[in-house]
């Protein structure tokens, strides 16, 4: 729309509202007269040359069923939403997500836990501008797995609790192998028992029950890689919180708290997964009664200070993913 000035009307057309597509465009104009009638005119075709880079939309796998969405070249600071649905049965499973916008780039996440079925998925991104929703772009990606169920294993399980490694029973010192077996089983979709991780750490490395009881921080890294996972040491409580918000597993070593309250134990490994109002869900390989939601800040403050745990990590919190 435009107001008349000295008998002339000027309208600025922004190419972004036509998705930055180069080509010939037909222009129609309409004038509403004083008597209320509307008169239309065909002004012919005009060449429209794109001067802006086209918007790009990508979905990148980040591990643990989480995809990162990046939408570059967005139109403005208006809200951006993106729709996700599978190739099966049309859009019957469509879900909408909100993206964050900063400096012409919108970002967001997709978690396979919100979807069902594998195969091709479609992503269409839209931005709200001047009261309307405009298509920014679209892409496709492949979901290979949509379930990450976590098995619970206990280091005192009768199947392996009395197994000796270097003179120490699995039930007493096997918290790391048992924690890792839960994580790796979920990520791989295979049954990786506690003894499988313990056997690798004891017989193929010097990081488990060698010289001192328990598993070193370096052992967490080596075992994760051995079973095809990617470990990433987390350097701050913010990194820990973000990893849990995204839906990843974290192997954590803590001390002098509910999970490690015995005077002779200086460290205990637990599994962290999930996020809710500053809390995360803990799986305790020693005592299932301790499983539940706990404050992330408190767990970070109670981190193990044992040298073997922090020498290779800095902080004994390790994100483990299946990429």
| 153 within some domain | no
Predicted confidence at residue 21, as pLDDT, reads 57
CATH assignment of the domain containing 77? 2.60.40.10
| 156 within some domain | no
DSSP class per residue in 90-141: TTTT-EEEEEEEETTEEEEEEEGGG----EEEEEEEEEEETTEEEEEEEEEE
- Counted domains in the chain: 3
CATH assignment of the domain containing 282? 3.90.70.10
Bridge partners (DSSP) listed for residue 294: 280
**Average pLDDT of span 131-145:** 90
- More reliable by pLDDT, 146 or 19: 146
- For the record, the structure tokens of 87 come out as 């190739």
Is residue 283 located within the same domain as residue 248?
yes
Is residue 139 located within the same domain as residue 189?
no
| 282 within some domain | yes
Residue 245 has pLDDT above 80, yes or no: yes
Tens of pLDDT, residues 302-317: 999 998 889 999 999 9
Residue 51 has pLDDT above 60, yes or no: no
Residue 209 belongs to domain spanning = 164-321
Query: Which residue's structure tokens are 């992503």?
Result: 123
Q: 136 phi and psi, to 5 degrees?
A: -85, -45
From the number of C-beta atoms within 10 Å of its C-beta (0-12, 13-18, 19+), residue 130 rates as exposed
Is residue 110 located within the same domain as residue 181?
no
- For the record, the structure tokens of 132 come out as 């309307």
| 1 within some domain | yes
**Average pLDDT of span 233-250:** 97
- For the record, the structure tokens of 257 come out as 């708290």
Is residue 33 located within the same domain as residue 112?
no
Among residues 214, 185, 201, 179, which one has the least CA distance to residue 287? 179
DSSP class per residue in 221-241: HHHHHHTT-EEEE--SHHHHH
Grouping H, G, I as helix, E, B as strand and the rest as coil, residue 72 is strand
Is residue 23 located within the same domain as residue 88?
no
Residues in the chain: 323
Tens of pLDDT, residues 104-135: 899 999 998 888 888 999 999 999 888 888 89
Do 202 and 216 form a contact (C-beta atoms < 8 A)? no
| 209 within some domain | yes
Sign of the torsion formed by the C-alpha atoms of 245, 249, 251 and 254 = positive
Residue 50 has pLDDT above 90, yes or no: no
| 246 within some domain | yes
Among residues 83, 56, 84, which one has the least CA distance to residue 142? 84
Q: Name the region of 196 (left: φ>0; alpha: ψ -120 to 50; beta: rest).
A: alpha
Q: pLDDT band for 219, please (50, 70, 90 cuts).
A: very high
- How is residue 8 annotated by DSSP? B
Contacts of 203 (CB under 8 A, 6+ apart): none
Residue 248 has pLDDT above 90, yes or no: yes
Is the model's pTM score more than 0.85?
no
- How is residue 46 annotated by DSSP? E
Tens of pLDDT, residues 161-198: 999 999 999 999 999 999 999 999 999 999 999 999 99
Is residue 190 located within the same domain as residue 235?
yes
Contacts of 214 (CB under 8 A, 6+ apart): 173, 175, 176, 208, 267, 308
Q: 50 phi and psi, to 5 degrees?
A: -65, 130
């Amino acid at each position: 729309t435009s107001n008349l000035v000295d008998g002339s009307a000027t309208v600025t057309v922004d190419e972004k509202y036509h998705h930055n597509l180069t080509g010939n465009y037909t222009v129609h104009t309409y004038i509403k007269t004083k008597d209320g009638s509307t008169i239309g005119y065909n002004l012919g075709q005009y060449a429209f040359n794109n001067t802006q880079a086209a918007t790009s939309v990508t979905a990148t796998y980040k591990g643990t069923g989480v995809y990162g969405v990046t939408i570059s070249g967005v139109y403005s600071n208006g809200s951006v939403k993106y729709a996700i649905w599978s190739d099966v049965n049309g859009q019957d499973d469509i879900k909408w997500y909100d993206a964050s916008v900063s400096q012409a780039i919108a970002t967001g996440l997709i978690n396979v836990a919100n979807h069902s079925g594998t195969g091709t998925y479609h992503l269409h991104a839209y931005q709200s501008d001047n009261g309307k929703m405009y298509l920014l772009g679209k892409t496709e990606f492949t979901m290979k797995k949509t379930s990450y169920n976590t098995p619970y294993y206990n280091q005192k399980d009768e199947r392996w609790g009395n197994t000796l490694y270097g003179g120490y029973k699995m039930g007493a010192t096997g918290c790391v192998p048992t924690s890792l077996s839960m994580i790796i089983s979920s990520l791989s979709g295979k049954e990786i028992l506690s003894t499988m991780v313990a056997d690798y750490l004891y017989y193929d490395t010097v990081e488990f029950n060698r010289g001192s009881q328990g598993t070193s921080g370096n052992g967490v890294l080596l075992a994760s890689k051995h079973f095809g996972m990617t470990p990433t040491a987390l350097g701050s409580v913010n990194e820990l919180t973000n990893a849990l918000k995204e839906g990843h597993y974290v192997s954590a070593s803590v001390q002098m708290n509910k999970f490690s309250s015995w005077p002779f134990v200086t460290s205990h490994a637990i599994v962290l997964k999930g996020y809710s109002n500053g809390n995360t869900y803990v799986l305790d390989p020693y005592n299932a009664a301790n499983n539940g939601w706990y404050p992330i800040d408190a767990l970070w403050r109670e981190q193990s200070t044992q040298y073997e745990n922090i020498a290779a990590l800095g902080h004994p919190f390790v994100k483990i993913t299946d990429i």
